[in-house]
Chains A and B, each alone.
Chain A
Amino acid sequence: MNILGHRAPPTAQIGLLIVVFFLLTALIGPWFAPYGQSQSVGDTWAPVSAKMWLGADQIGRDMLTRLIYGARMTIGIAAACTLLSFFIGITLGFIAAVMGSWVDTLLSRLVDVILSIPPLILALIVLGVFGSSIPVLIITIGIIDSTKVFRLARALGMNITVLDYVEVARMRGEGLWWIIRSEIMPNAMAPLVSEFGLRFCFNFLFVASLSFLGIGVQPPYADWGGMVRENAGAINFGLFAPLYPAIAIAMLTVGVNLVVDWLLSIDARPSGAQAEM
């Protein structure tokens, strides 16, 4: 199968299928949901039945309906957070790598300081000062995560800035942005895309834990991480309720990363470097 002029192996096709399926669910799924997302229609953790294909959640709401509604919240917020964190993290990380000296020291130590503040305190401060809303949630996660992206982007950038062709570009008198855009970015792309795929998935859960502290998704809106949390107690007795949202997250995580792998392998490689596709 060819996609955008590239041959996609079966795993990539499966990945794409999953991602497209979940994106569609997020966009139009609610039209097909069997019940309202906050409607309590059965007993607590009611078993799977013809009426409720995946049973009921901790207060008797239809699990399938909640999953469908949850797709939009989960994917949308996680994508926004991840994009923001990569924008900040990559920009500053590359600047630190290319400029070096005091800029690097300053930014790196600043990141150390931010990373060192316990996330709980950070979250409580944000909550106290900025209140609870989804934009606040996105910005909070974006900033917290950007410190980690920074560490990676800086490490990647450093490995590249010391290469001869960057030195040459410098001597030619190219500017900071040109070097970042034309020399570093393309060569650091692969690990960054891979990191993006993972951070995106981590954020499904990060969103849920901050929402639990009161920042972000508010009841009755569903998000998958929150659904796992709310139903978690059932697993002690072998009930499946919390597994459904966990499976949804797992499928999307695997799907996204299969696509990421494919994107990375498209990067033209010398023939010998290609193991098997």
Chain B
Amino acid sequence: MVDNDGNRNRASNLFIDRRQLISSAAAMGLSLGARDAFAAETPKKGGILRLGMEGGSASDSLDPRTYADSIPICYGWQFWNGLVEIGEDGDPHGELAESWEAKPGAKEWVFNIRKDIPFTSGKTLDADDVIWSLNLHRGQTKSGAKDLMAGISDIKKLAKNQILITLASGDAGLPSIFADYHILIVPNNYTDFSKPDGTGAFELVSFQPGVQIISKRKKGTYWKPGRGNFDGVELRYIPDVSARVQALLSNQIDAANRLDPKTVKLVMRAPTVNVVRTKGTGNRFAWVAHCDTDPYKSNDMRLALKYGIDRQKIIDNVFEGFATLGNDTTVAPSQKYYAKDLPQRAYDPDKAKFHFKKAGMANANLDLQVSEGAFSNATNCAVLNQESMKNAGLTLNVKRVSGDGYWSNVWLKVPYCAVYWGGRPSADNQLAQTFLSNANWNDTNWHSPEFDKLLFQARAELDEAKRGELYAECQKLIWETGGMVCFAIGDYLDGYSKKVKGTAPHPHYDMCDQRIAEKGWFA
């Protein structure tokens, strides 16, 4: 699966989010672990953490510009650090940046870089390293973070450990951008990524992409207190979910990501295993119809599709309850500015029938293309949808296609197909990347000037309540006329051996924001 969290915070950026400004100011210093549910226990040193993960391939590289899936993200955080880290509260906290301050208007930002942090090579971190690292993702680059950084017009060194970042337009959300997994801080003029030189807790022992990545803890004390506890990490590629689960159950690995919702209840019964569930923050599962292509041009048709799907049945029978009902937008109930007052759309074959008729499509045949490459269990979801559509008098032909090249050949090209969207730090991000008329990934070809206007208005709105209303309006528009049938929002499901501690669920990503190697310890 391709992880699409390229966190694009595109265009945008007029809004001033006071809450964020305040919290980031307060977050100076190392308060990261403070809210950890396990904070009461003191981490112990020692032991080799054996990870078994899905989300990588033999083509993986150490170059952070190419990261796109869980395994590279996981080893990236072992060797390197970012400027900013998302805490368990969901807010940005300083990592290699000690503190930051936005000038009024949030167009100019001063970041103070932590002092006396050593790289593996022995060099000490300074502003030049940070500037070099940030510039890797700007200008002529294939970096996955390029779009994120597009709003930055200039980066300047103010002092040995201080930089000034100038934006094209104000953006109070800048610090969160620097928590992106592509933006790792490397030494100045560093180009040979095959020999990782970072400020992270671990150093590379052997790199065999597609097989295993072995690292060991660096000598000396790690600069983050309480972190970097394992003596080493063995990260194995185990793409087959059954193999991963069996390895965890039989104690051949200490942790596994992406457990199968179908069998997770059975995994939970095992006395040695601890399943960590992050509810309603995972991937948004949806079908997308092109609003500018017949027969989906008619909004009645789109409404009928939304009424004709039995979401609860899918959640019960495919996700075994480990998912939240989707309400046809990518904003999740767990997110701020989620439109709570919008009624949850439910299965209603009569209404679906009515709308199909109105659209002149009663008893029609439609094709839905799905693939396990879009998201696992997509076919099962589609088959249940096919069955529920029958009651609305419509024949839904499920076409299962190869996962190979799904994102380049099917998605965005086929008028009705499966997609998943990853969670974003804010509702604004979430809406902008998919639903703005000019968005690169507007996969429903939905063009609503009204929506665009509302979204920009919301960004500039300083009054919290009004802003919430505007975002709710945005969601309502999508809910009413959009081409997305978002039926479920998955849970992140990680499995750990009971002896692994420090595994609190994280609102950003699974496996403790993919930093389990740095955060965890053995009991």
Interface on A for B, CB 8 Å cutoff? 38-40, 43-44, 58-60, 124, 127, 132, 211-214, 218-220, 230, 232-237
B386 interfacial by beta-carbon distance below 8 Å: yes
Choice from B242, B383, B397 contacting A232 with Cβ under 8 Å:
B242
Chain B residue contacts of A124, Cβ below 8 A: 402, 404
Choice from A43, A60, A219, A235 contacting B400 with Cβ under 8 Å:
A219
A213-B313 contact given A38-B387, A58-B380, A236-B263, CB 8 Å threshold: no
- Are the C-beta atoms of B404 and A40 separated by less than 8 Å? no
**5 pairs, CB–CB < 8 Å, chain A vs chain B:** A40-B384, A211-B400, A218-B397, A220-B386, A233-B262
A218-B242 contact given A38-B386, A59-B380, A59-B383, CB 8 Å threshold: no
**What distance in Å separates the Cβ of B62 from its nearest Cβ neighbour in chain A?**
27
B473 interfacial by beta-carbon distance below 8 Å: no
A230 to B263, CA, bound (A): 13
A218 to B369, CA, bound (A): 11
Choice from B263, B317, B400 contacting A234 with Cβ under 8 Å:
B263
For residue B270, which residue of chain A has the nearest CB? A237
A233 to B313, CA, bound (A): 21
A59 to B378, CA, bound (A): 12
Choice from A59, A60, A218, A236 contacting B398 with Cβ under 8 Å:
A218
A40-B263 contact given A220-B386, A236-B242, CB 8 Å threshold: no
- Are the C-beta atoms of B387 and A218 separated by less than 8 Å? no
Chain A residue contacts of B397, Cβ below 8 A: 218
- Are the C-beta atoms of A233 and B401 separated by less than 8 Å? no
Chain A residue contacts of B404, Cβ below 8 A: 124, 213
Known contacts A218-B399, A232-B242, A233-B260; 12 additional CB pairs below 8 A are A40-B317, A40-B384, A132-B399, A212-B372, A219-B383, A220-B386, A220-B387, A233-B242, A233-B263, A234-B263, A236-B249, A237-B263
Chain A residue contacts of B418, Cβ below 8 A: none
Could you give, for residues 387-417 of chain B, a 1 whenever the CB lies within 8 Å of some chain A CB and a 0 otherwise? 1000000000111111010000000000000
B433 interfacial by beta-carbon distance below 8 Å: no
Chain B residue contacts of A234, Cβ below 8 A: 263
**What distance in Å separates the Cβ of B49 from its nearest Cβ neighbour in chain A?**
23
A237 to B380, CA, bound (A): 21
A44-B400 contact given A38-B383, A58-B262, A236-B246, CB 8 Å threshold: no
Chain B residue contacts of A44, Cβ below 8 A: 262, 317, 320
- Are the C-beta atoms of B263 and A214 separated by less than 8 Å? no
A214-B400 contact given A38-B387, A40-B313, A59-B384, CB 8 Å threshold: yes
Chain B residue contacts of A132, Cβ below 8 A: 399, 401
Chain B residue contacts of A232, Cβ below 8 A: 242
- Are the C-beta atoms of A59 and B402 separated by less than 8 Å? no
- Are the C-beta atoms of B387 and A39 separated by less than 8 Å? yes
Choice from B262, B263, B266, B398 contacting A219 with Cβ under 8 Å:
B398
- Are the C-beta atoms of B262 and A218 separated by less than 8 Å? no
**What distance in Å separates the Cβ of B242 from its nearest Cβ neighbour in chain A?**
5
Chain B residue contacts of A213, Cβ below 8 A: 402, 404
Q: In this complex, which of B242, B317, B371, B384 has the most chain A Cβ atoms within 10 angstroms of its Cβ?
A: B317
- Are the C-beta atoms of A127 and B387 separated by less than 8 Å? no
B382 interfacial by beta-carbon distance below 8 Å: yes
B245 interfacial by beta-carbon distance below 8 Å: yes
A132 to B371, CA, bound (A): 13
B241 interfacial by beta-carbon distance below 8 Å: yes
- Are the C-beta atoms of A59 and B318 separated by less than 8 Å? yes
B379 interfacial by beta-carbon distance below 8 Å: yes
**What distance in Å separates the Cβ of B323 from its nearest Cβ neighbour in chain A?**
13
Chain A residue contacts of B372, Cβ below 8 A: 212
A237-B371 contact given A43-B317, A132-B401, CB 8 Å threshold: no
- Are the C-beta atoms of A214 and B401 separated by less than 8 Å? yes
A154 to B400, CA, bound (A): 38
**What distance in Å separates the Cβ of B369 from its nearest Cβ neighbour in chain A?**
9
A234 to B249, CA, bound (A): 14
- Are the C-beta atoms of A219 and B382 separated by less than 8 Å? yes
Chain A residue contacts of B241, Cβ below 8 A: 233
**What distance in Å separates the Cβ of A102 from its nearest Cβ neighbour in chain B?**
38
- Are the C-beta atoms of B266 and A237 separated by less than 8 Å? yes
For residue B379, which residue of chain A has the nearest CB? A219
**What distance in Å separates the Cβ of B15 from its nearest Cβ neighbour in chain A?**
43
Q: In this complex, which of B245, B386, B404 has the most chain A Cβ atoms within 10 angstroms of its Cβ?
A: B404
Choice from B263, B313, B400 contacting A218 with Cβ under 8 Å:
B400
A220-B263 contact given A39-B387, A214-B371, CB 8 Å threshold: no
**What distance in Å separates the Cβ of A23 from its nearest Cβ neighbour in chain B?**
27
Chain A residue contacts of B266, Cβ below 8 A: 236-237
**What distance in Å separates the Cβ of A15 from its nearest Cβ neighbour in chain B?**
34
A139 to B316, CA, bound (A): 39
Interface positions of B from 249 to 302, Cβ below 8 Å from A: 249, 260, 262-263, 266
